[in-house]
Amino acid sequence: MENLRQARLSRGWSQKEAARRLGVSQAYVAMLESGLRRLTPALARKAMRVYGLSPTVLPAAEPFRLAQSVSAQGLAEQLAVLGYPGFAYLRPHVAKKNPGEVLLAALAQDELEARLVEALPWLLLRYWDVDVNWVVEQAKRRDLQNRLGFLAGLTRRLSEAAGAPNQNRNRALAELEAALEKSRLAQEGTFCKTPGTDTEREWLRENRPEEAKHWNLLTDWRAEHLRYVA
C-alpha cells in the first residue's frame, strides 16, 4: 500500500525499523507496501497508531452488514471518536471504525436525529479519502445512492466554498457524486427523516432545495443548517 510506504518515509524509518514498531518481519512490511499482502484488521489498527494514519485504512467487516436500526448514542460515540467537534463533550469507549462504515450506517436510518444528520457533511469533508469504490458499491446494494449523492453534492459545495481550497478533496467529492449519478433512483425517498403527515410531505416537495429535487429526496436540509465544517 502506497500510503504505508509514504507514511514510513515521512518518518525517516527504514523497513526494518517499521517492522520492529509493527511487530512483524521486514519481509512482511515489504509485501504490505508492494500490495502483495493486505492489512489484517488488527495490524491495520496498529499501523494507524504507529504511522498516524487516517481511520480510512481500517478494513470494513467482511461480509459487511448494516443494522436496520442503530442507537443515536452509538452513532454519536462513533462520530466523537472520529473527532467530530459537535460531540467533543462525549467520552466514548468504542474502537474507531472506518468512516465509510459510520457514514453508511447513518444514511441507512429512516429516522435520524438532526444533530447526527448535521454531522454527516463534516464526516465526508474530514474523511474524503475514504474508499469511494467500496462506499458506492455498498450504497447501491442498499438503495442508498440518492441519499449519499445528495450528501456528496452538499459536501462538495462546502468544500469548494472553504477558505483554503483543497483541490484533491474537491476532486474526490466530485468523483463520488458522478459515480452515484449513474445509478440515481427515480423513486422518491427521504433523507433520514420520514414526513409525519401528507401536509408535511407536500410542503417538503414544494420547498426542498434543487439538489434534493435532483436526487428525488424529501428534505429541506441546506448548507446553512451546518455548524461544523472540517
Query: Using one digit for the tens of pLDDT, what is the confidence trace for 40-59?
Result: 888 999 999 999 998 998 88
Whether residue 118 sits in one domain with residue 200: yes
Whether residue 111 sits in one domain with residue 147: yes
Rounded CA separation 206/135 (Å): 31
Helix (H, G, I), strand (E, B) or coil at 85: helix
Total number of domains in the chain: 2
Whether residue 102 sits in one domain with residue 28: no
Range of the domain at 22: 2-53
- 65 within some domain: no
Whether residue 161 sits in one domain with residue 47: no
Residue 149 CA to its chain's centroid (Å): 12
Evaluate whether 123 touches 84 at the Cβ level (below 8 Å).
yes
Q: Residue holding cell 512483524?
A: 24
- The backbone torsions φ and ψ at residue 25, rounded to the nearest 5 degrees and listed phi first, read -85, 160
Give 38 or 230, the one with higher predicted confidence.
38
**Whether the bond into 85 is cis, omega within 30 of 0:** no
- 46 within some domain: yes
- 18 within some domain: yes
- 67 within some domain: no
- 117 within some domain: yes
pLDDT band at 63 (very low <50, low <70, confident <90, very high): low
Rounded CA separation 184/23 (Å): 45
Evaluate whether 136 touches 176 at the Cβ level (below 8 Å).
yes
Q: Does residue 155 register a pLDDT over 90?
A: yes
Cα 177 to Cα 63, 154, 165: the distances in Å are: 25, 10, 18
Whether residue 171 sits in one domain with residue 124: yes
Whether residue 187 sits in one domain with residue 76: yes
Q: Does residue 228 register a pLDDT over 90?
A: no
Cα 27 to Cα 2, 17, 19, 32, 69: the distances in Å are: 16, 12, 8, 9, 43
Whether residue 28 sits in one domain with residue 93: no
CATH number at residue 23: 1.10.260.40
Whether residue 145 sits in one domain with residue 95: yes
User: pTM of the prediction?
Assistant: 0.88
Whether residue 96 sits in one domain with residue 30: no
- 184 within some domain: yes
Q: What is the widest separation between alpha-carbon atoms in the chain?
A: 66
